């Protein structure tokens, strides 16, 4: 009975994979063909760390007024090392929404699009990009292993775990990035616990059920394909250090910082996106949640930059791009004007900082640029084309 059940599940997963990204079709066929395409060249360009100053932040509390910023490191120190775009916007187009999932995908794909939750869930952010992400472009152009293209994701927004590849027929699952998050750690842990001896049958059944429930969320990727030995080893070390309880490791955006630092040390990623999110908790109305969240990200950025500066292979070989996923309202009629981000003018207004080798330092650009330009800029830095991205390149940044 169990066999049948498992078989059907596997079948459904594979079927979903087929429907979700036919793709991958082309990708898989190419990769698995005995004749196969020519081997991809190794990647030797700079690394890119894309930091989502996320959860939606306004210019007012970040870059607008250095005397009243809640991210002093970013504004006073880091900005001097790179090119600051003070007037980046998310274009006002029909169907273009200022929210976290959408902003992340505009950044990753370089295209503004109308996104709807694939399950039709209210407020759901389970989106599937129609055009490739920068991870897919990179991995299709160069021999970069999956574990060196990463999304570092938080605990609250599981939907954003799955922005690792698009539904584009020339790209898709075979060029996807991997994800570091507590969701991934939990599935890893459950698999390990199920393998372990000394567990009662009832307990094992519960763990299996729990694992199935978690894995079912990632319906586009089969379990076998998901397992990546380097990532599994990463989680082994994480478990040794922090244990299994979840009580020891950092929480919220501090967790993301920790995961990123460990990833740099252990996985040597080429392209990473860090999905910070804490400032968004101001939706509950406490302004301190917002400013505290900004300060936590500021601290996280300083630690990531310090890690890069202290690592011989990353120092002078890593470009960091920091940009919010969206802005926030500036609704002066409300006691907390920035409580939400309802597609207002202010929620379309963001900023970006680019720094690293080949990037002009101490430069401020006031020209209006687009969030969708980030993907093209990543392509420009890493040396791949982004033919499906509609944005351009943040040219002023390059020396």
Partner 1 sequence: MSPDEGDVRPYTRGRRYRARLWKFIVGAVFCMNPILCVAVVGWTYRLMQRSAVRNWARRAGIAAIAEEFALQHDDLRHLARLPNFVLPQPGAPIRTGGGVRAGLARLFGSFGLNLKIGAQALANTWVLLLPAEVFWLFGWYSGWDVSFNKVYEQFSVGRSIALTGIVLFCLAMMYVPWAQARQAITGEWRRFYDFRLVWSMARRHWALSLLLAAAYAVFALAIVAQPVVLIGYGNALSDAETLADAEIIGHLNRIFFVFTLIGYPSYVALRLLATRAYCRAIVEDVRSGEISVGALAAFERRQLERLGLAAILTSKPRPMVLLRAPRRMLRGLVAVATFLIWFVFVAQIYISAFLVYQSARGWLNQPLVQAPWYRTIPAHLRDGEIAYAHASSRSATFAR
Q: Which is nearer to partner 1, 9 or 292 (CB)?
A: 292
C-alpha distances in Å from residue 265, one per residue of 103, 269, 270, 304: 28, 9, 12, 11
Q: How far is the CB of 240 from partner 1 (least distance, A)?
A: 20
Handedness of CA 222, 202, 240, 253 (dihedral sign): positive
| Least Cβ distance, residue 177 to partner 1 (angstroms) | 24
Distance CA 173, CA 199 (A): 35
Binding site for partner 1 (CB under 8 A): 155-156, 246-247, 251-252, 278, 281, 283-286, 289, 292, 329-337, 339-340, 342-346
- The residues that bridge with 323 in the sheet, in sequence order, are 52
Question: Of 133 and 181, which CB lies nearer to partner 1 in the complex structure?
Answer: 181
Beta bridge partners of 27: none
- Of residues 206 and 286, the one with the C-beta less far from partner 1: 286
Angle at 73 between CA 299 and CA 55, to 5 degrees: 55
Residues 88/350, Cβ–Cβ less than 8 Å:
yes
Shorter beta-carbon distance to partner 1: residue 147 or 348: 348
Of residues 136 and 349, the one with the C-beta less far from partner 1: 349
Q: Quote the least distance from Cβ 96 to partner 1, whole Å.
A: 16
Residue 286 C-beta: closest distance to partner 1, Å: 6
Token output for 37: 């395409």
Nearer to partner 1, 268 or 303 (CB): 303
Token pair listed for 185: 């750690």
Minimum CB separation of residue 107 from partner 1 in Å reads 23
C-alpha span between 387 and 104 (Å, rounded) = 19
DSSP string, 152-212: E--SS-GGGGGTT----TTSSGGGPPEEESHHHHHHHHHHHHHHSSS--HHHHHHHHHHHH
């Amino acid at each position: 009975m169990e066999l049948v059940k498992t078989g059907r599940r596997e079948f459904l997963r594979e079927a979903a994979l087929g429907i979700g990204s036919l793709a991958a079709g082309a990708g898989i066929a190419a990769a698995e063909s005995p004749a196969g395409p020519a081997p991809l060249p190794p990647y030797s360009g700079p690394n890119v760390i894309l930091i989502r100053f996320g959860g939606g932040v306004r210019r007012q509390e970040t870059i607008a007024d250095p005397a009243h910023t809640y991210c002093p490191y970013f504004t006073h120190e880091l900005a001097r090392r790179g090119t600051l775009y003070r007037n980046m916007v998310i274009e006002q187009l029909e169907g273009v929404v200022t929210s976290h999932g959408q902003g992340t995908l505009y950044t990753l794909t370089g295209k503004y699009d109308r996104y709807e939750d694939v399950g039709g869930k209210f407020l759901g952010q389970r989106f599937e990009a129609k055009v490739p992400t920068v991870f897919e472009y990179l991995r299709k152009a160069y021999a970069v292993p999956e574990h060196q293209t990463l999304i570092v994701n938080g605990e609250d927004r599981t939907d954003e775990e799955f922005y690792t590849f698009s539904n584009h027929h020339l790209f898709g699952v075979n060029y996807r990035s991997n994800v570091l998050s507590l969701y991934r750690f939990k599935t890893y842990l459950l698999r390990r616990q199920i393998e372990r001896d000394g567990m009662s049958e009832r307990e094992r059944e519960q763990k299996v059920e729990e694992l199935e429930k978690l894995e079912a969320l990632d319906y586009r990727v089969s379990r076998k394909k998901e397992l990546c030995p380097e990532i599994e080893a990463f989680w082994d070390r994480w478990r040794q250090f922090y244990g299994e309880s979840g009580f020891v490791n950092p929480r919220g955006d501090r967790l993301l910082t920790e995961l990123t630092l460990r990833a740099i040390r252990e996985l040597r990623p080429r392209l990473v996106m860090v999905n910070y999110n804490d400032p968004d908790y101001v939706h509950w109305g406490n302004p301190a949640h917002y400013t505290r969240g900004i300060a936590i990200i500021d601290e996280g950025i300083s630690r990531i930059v310090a890690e890069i500066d202290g690592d011989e292979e990353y120092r002078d070989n890593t470009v960091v791009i920091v940009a919010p996923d969206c802005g926030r309202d500036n609704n002066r009629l409300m006691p907390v004007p920035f409580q939400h981000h309802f597609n207002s003018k202010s929620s379309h207004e963001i900023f970006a900082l680019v720094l690293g080798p080949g990037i002009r330092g101490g430069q401020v650009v006031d020209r209006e640029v687009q969030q969708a330009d980030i993907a093209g800029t990543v392509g420009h830095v890493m040396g791949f084309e982004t033919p499906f991205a509609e944005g351009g390149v943040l040219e002023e940044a390059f020396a």
